[in-house]
Amino acid sequence: MEVILKEDVANLGHRGDVVKVADGYGRNFLLPRKLALQATLANKKQIDEMKASATRRSAAEKVVAEEQASKLAPVVLVFTRKSGENGHLFGSVTSSDIAAELAAQGFEIDRRKITMPEAIKALGNFEISIKLHKEVSAPVKVKVLGDAVVEGEVPAEAEAEVEEAAAE
């Protein structure tokens, strides 16, 4: 069965592609979920129009994404977490934490756009990537500090690191 994809489908193709699929996959999965249309002449014309409008929309979204990437370049996110003696965190810094911190700084980023190989579970400096558009991604620096609380006071070194990272 030949179908025209209305949306990007993983391991199959992108919006507007004409692909051959098994009859059952097309009838039982793609068509009911409105991910594809049967490949007829009328549908091919409709998809061509949709492709043209999607190309224009994608170009506009790319410009906005590039602007946002340039604004995100100098951003350093600082997290203070409880840690053990060897620098291992009790818990982790996840994409949700990063999205919340970015929102606090005025950037509305969906947590699913933040690409991290795994949650951050150690102290140190890290660089993560945010996929703003299929062709644009922005690197963001993440600094994870330990909460070295001794007798109820925060050491001056830790305070200085937090202030230094905030100034950057």
Token couple for 79? 């997290």
Whether 118 and 134 map to the same domain: the answer is yes
Range of the domain at 143: 70-167
pLDDT per position as a tens digit, 78-131: 999 888 888 888 889 999 999 999 999 988 888 888 988 888 999 999 999 999
pLDDT per position as a tens digit, 130-162: 998 888 899 999 999 988 644 344 444 555 555
DSSP state of 75: -
Whether 83 and 104 map to the same domain: the answer is yes
Whether 108 and 126 map to the same domain: the answer is yes
pLDDT per position as a tens digit, 35-76: 998 988 888 888 788 778 878 888 888 999 999 999 998 999
Could you tell me the pTM of the whole model? 0.62
Q: What pLDDT does residue 7 have?
A: 83
Whether 56 and 78 map to the same domain: the answer is no
How far is Cα 45 from Cα 32, in angstroms, rounded to an integer? 21
